[in-house]
Structure 1
Amino acid sequence: MEAESKLVYEPEELSPGSPAAFDDLDGNDWRPMSRHACTFEPHHFEKVMVNLVNNPNLNSKWLFRADILYDDHPDAPDGPDAKDAQAAQSQLPQTRNIRDYTRQRTMVRKLIPRNTMRDAPLDQTCCFYTSSPPSHPAEGEAALTKTLVIYTPHAAAAADLPFYHPKVRGIAQLHEWDPASHKGTISVHFLMFQDDQVDEVKLGRIAYHLLQILHKHGQTTATGYVKRVNHDVVVPQQRFQNRYSDLKNKYARTLVESWAETTDPSKHVFEDLGIASFLIELWADMYQDTEFPGFVDIGCGNGLLVHVLQLEGYAGWGFDARARKSWAQYKSPSSLSPSGESLQKLLLLPSVIPRGTPSEEEKPINEEDVHNGIFPKGTFIISNHADELTPWTPILATISDCPFISIPCCSHNLTGDKYRAPAPRDKSKGKSTFASLVDWVTRIAEDCGWEVETEMLRIPSTRNTGLVGRRRTNGDNEVDVAAILQKYGGIEGYYANVAKLLKSAPRGH
């Protein structure tokens, strides 16, 4: 492979009037826009293009995803018959005939925009073609292997296309490969609408961007890059994003405009709407045949997540060691809360912690200010960036026999002190404090008898790992909680740390 310095992205812009790189037998005149050298082979190109068809968000920040309506590949999910049925209900593929090319695969996708209030979805046919090198190339002619992918939007005119799609009838990406020299080129081509005024500058930027993404993914694929993070393991992407769009359209503007905290609403509002979307879809699976048992948010912070879940009809409550300004507008009645209100100021002092006597410097703990961490069986425990309570979450869930989600953030041990957890068991993972914390909490949960499911949540936070415990691995067997507490460092000092919280000034004021 060529040296890395030679793979810098510096595309060649092709001037109007440049000859077309392929012949459309339907009489369409394709315009080449940009071209760049590459060192990745045809099978790498095909792999990248299938991934880009399935994930249009890699090319456009305005798009959530693509729903595949039709795929005639024999290994396509659900099989061709199911895809045919779906396509019949939507629009049939709109294919093109290219001279000396054979169509190998046809897909129809529905592009789903992030903002469904502004932009409509769009159906688009994606065709894969190959052209074999000539049997007897002319003297001096390279025996190139050509692979072509053409995107055709299902739109009759430029005015019918949504904002996120360029105002063109078609987009083509071509890979040309010379096996002898082990070199190739990639290029982007547009098919214009007739008699339509084109913004040349904008089209040039789009071509540059599309080729840049293809170049980047092609080169990294050729070097053996393997994706380390997988989303949508617990909840399917389509369901999550549909729910998120619904919640965002209903609540985002009002929540941002009425934000009472000093923190950035654009981060916290969309983060909690994302977590709420995930939980609602998770609960749809968990409780499809039974009544929802209620939830409790331990360390609920500003209370926004509790508020949104209640607005969506889910009974529950939250508590925190410190009250927040937001509570005044988010509080509502809750029959599950000891106070009868959805947000309550309480310290969590687990039932397994011996009640000690504070020192003279420490304020005595009033039992009315404390929750013992025992919840009605089946209550879903939410632990979202709960700091000191993070490692306790699977333990509390075990004691009360409650499912849970833990979204770790800052690293603390079982006494509430800041703590650097051991390096992850999986040596392929990083050794950061956060990675170590996530693995450490996972170990605790596993020792408590939980099957831990990991979801990389689609939220605007680098601390987006969700650990879900909804199934037991040890059946109805009891867990030796005392042994687990001892194994993970013990609990001496927790009571004193809780007492110190009483002297701390409230955050967010």
Structure 2
Amino acid sequence: MSQPRPKFEPQIVVDAPESQWLPLIRCLANFPAEIFEVAILQLVHHPEYNSTLILRSEVLEEYTSDFPSLTPALEDAIPARCIHRKLLPRRPGRDAALEQYCTFYSTKGSTIVDNLVLTPIPDANSALPYYHPAVHHIRFRYLPGEVDVLQIEVDRLPGTPTDPNSRLYRTSLALLDTVHRYGWGALGNYKKRVHHDCIITREAYQDLYLLMRERHKHLVDTWQEVTDPYKHVFEDIGIATFLMLLWKDSYPASQETIDENAPWKSWGRPPGGFIDFGCGNGLLTHILVQEGYTGVGIDVRARTSWSHYAAPTPSSLRVHAFDPLSLPSDDALFPAGAFIIGNHADELTPWVPVVATLTSASGYISIPCCAWSFDAKFERSSTKGYPYGEGFVESLSLGGDGSNASSYSMYRIWLASLSVHCGWKIESETLRIPSTRNWAIVGRKREGDAEEARANAQEIVDDVRNRGVFKSRKPEGKAGEH
């Protein structure tokens, strides 16, 4: 078992000599100097982990010689590398982007990086954005000694306060804590167990998400359900964003003229449209339909929201009690090449890859929540399993403590192995949505023998039918009105 991180105990630096660099705060390093570069690289490449106002950074250029003139000269260290990056704000309408030099230094006579200096590149027409400290430079140091120390020093702008209640001090405190945490994690050979952006790049997702959020955030103010609008609206905007980019990468682009204000209008999309299983409040269907995608959302009962959505969404929401035992019939519901969405679809979740196989779907996404098998709750001790090969579980990026011993982890492994059994090549993603149930499994490519996969899926339907336990739910309310 790995040891817990040592307690972070920062100390204010007092009696510092007068110089360009004002030491603000320090703490024990608790890891060797060789680890320092690993920790500060994480800080440079992921500033969003330390500020909710920053979306991400983009590397514009790297230098190993002929360093930019703004990079400061240090008396006791020489520059080894410089990364020119651009900080992108999470709310570009409020905060400006900012370019910055991140310069790595080694003490003279050493090859170990033990200094990092962050230098904002000033814009003559505007002040530094709110999310950046009021400094010319901010410096991270690894100071070896009887006890090794991490220290933050600043070359501040005139008049910038540095007392413990100031923004500069509080920002420096948070940054020092982050470097201390990253260093300890690297020392323990920490491996991130959850990997985002395995299917869609972070940059593409975040850029489109910002547009989608602006286009649909008004739904918070017109929410008709009793549930939390902030969670549901922004979660489904995130899922819609992911699907739009997934379909763009999976299907040929259309011949429509590109609209600069809505370029996704000409992106690829499922040839048979989409089917949103158990669509609930219908919000995901609504967002996709409003953005020009063809599809339907089905559920056993209509929700209050359905009739309040703008046209043409209401005509795309239908009361329907899907009966998987009738497969592979129901051609009207499953046109050839449809893409099936199982977003927290409860008891329909395990049927998603089976239905996708038997109806010749072009693909599917399943975002599981409650653990169901085909006609009962999932029980890891008794539910029939499906074989999988070495390294399969590790490829799923299940998160947690890495043991995969929880019931939810076992359920996701079961779903993934079921998908392989039905002939789908598995891709998994941890979605960037505000939900603890954000793991998704995607099938968009077939592998193995198609006839064998179809026979496997049909055998599942036959077995469930023969057990006689499964009962299709009946439509509720006036189904004919939707």
Pairwise same-fold verdict (TM > 0.5): yes
Q: Structure 1 residues 190, 373: CA separation in 2 closer, same or farther (over 3 Å shift)? A: farther
Unaligned runs of 5+ in 2: 255-267, 395-401
How many aligned positions are there?
445
- 1 CA distance for matches of 2:33 and 2:461? 53
Aligned residue for 2:28?
37
Aligned residue for 2:441?
467
Q: Structure 1 residues 496, 163: CA separation in 2 closer, same or farther (over 3 Å shift)? A: same
Amino acid at match of 2:21: W
Aligned residue for 1:418?
377
8 Å contact kept, 2:59–2:85: yes
Aligned residue for 1:298?
277
1:352 CA displacement:
4.4
Aligned residue for 2:261?
none
1:296 CA displacement:
1.3
- 1 CA distance for matches of 2:37 and 2:332? 53
Aligned residue for 1:218?
183
Query: Which has the larger displacement, 191-200 or 221-230?
Result: 191-200
SS at match of 1:120: coil
User: In the alignment, which of 104, 116, 122 is matched to residue 128 of structure 1?
Assistant: 104
SS at match of 2:238: helix
User: In the alignment, which of 11, 18, 38 is matched to residue 16 of structure 2?
Assistant: 18
Aligned residue for 1:357?
none
Describe how 1:486-505 pairs up with structure 2 within 5 A: 486=460, 490-492=464-466, 496-499=470-473, 501-502=474-475
- 2 CA distance for matches of 1:408 and 1:229? 16
Q: Structure 1 residues 157, 45: CA separation in 2 closer, same or farther (over 3 Å shift)? A: farther
1:157 CA displacement:
7.4
Aligned residue for 2:80?
104
- 2 CA distance for matches of 1:93 and 1:479? 63
1:173 CA displacement:
0.7
Cα RMSD, aligned residues only: 3.2
Aligned residue for 1:189?
153
Describe how 1:375-386 pairs up with structure 2 within 5 A: 375-386=334-345
Describe how 1:6-155 pairs up with structure 2 within 5 A: 7-15=6-14, 18-19=16-17, 29-72=20-63, 94-132=70-108, 147-155=114-122
1:158 CA displacement:
11
Q: Structure 1 residues 494, 126: CA separation in 2 closer, same or farther (over 3 Å shift)? A: farther
User: In the alignment, which of 308, 312, 320 is matched to residue 329 of structure 1?
Assistant: 308
TM (norm. structure 2) is 0.84
1:268 CA displacement:
0.5
TM (norm. structure 1) is 0.79
Q: Structure 1 residues 126, 146: CA separation in 2 closer, same or farther (over 3 Å shift)? A: closer
1:289 CA displacement:
3.9
Describe how 1:248-287 pairs up with structure 2 within 5 A: 248-252=213-217, 254-287=218-251
8 Å contact kept, 2:320–2:475: no
- 1 CA distance for matches of 2:83 and 2:457? 56
Aligned residue for 1:169?
136
Q: Structure 1 residues 44, 485: CA separation in 2 closer, same or farther (over 3 Å shift)? A: farther
8 Å contact kept, 2:324–2:461: no
Listed one character per residue, the Cα deviations across residues 51-93 of structure 1 (whole Å, up to 9, x for unaligned) are 11111111112112111111236xxxxxx9xxx9xx9xxxx68
- 1 CA distance for matches of 2:465 and 2:153? 65
- 2 CA distance for matches of 1:66 and 1:452? 30
- 2 CA distance for matches of 1:378 and 1:495? 31
Amino acid at match of 1:393: V
1:94 CA displacement:
3.5
Aligned residue for 1:360?
none
The answer to whether the aligner puts 1:342 opposite 2:316 as a matched pair is yes
SS at match of 2:148: strand
SS at match of 2:441: strand
1:496 CA displacement:
5.0
| Percent of aligned positions that are identical | 35
- 2 CA distance for matches of 1:67 and 1:93? 21
Q: Structure 1 residues 436, 4: CA separation in 2 closer, same or farther (over 3 Å shift)? A: closer
8 Å contact kept, 1:132–1:146: no
8 Å contact kept, 2:342–2:366: yes
Q: Structure 1 residues 36, 488: CA separation in 2 closer, same or farther (over 3 Å shift)? A: farther
Amino acid at match of 2:184: Q
Aligned residue for 2:296?
317
Unaligned runs of 5+ in 1: 21-27, 74-79, 135-143, 335-339, 355-369
- 1 CA distance for matches of 2:277 and 2:4? 50
1:98 CA displacement:
1.1
- 1 CA distance for matches of 2:462 and 2:379? 12
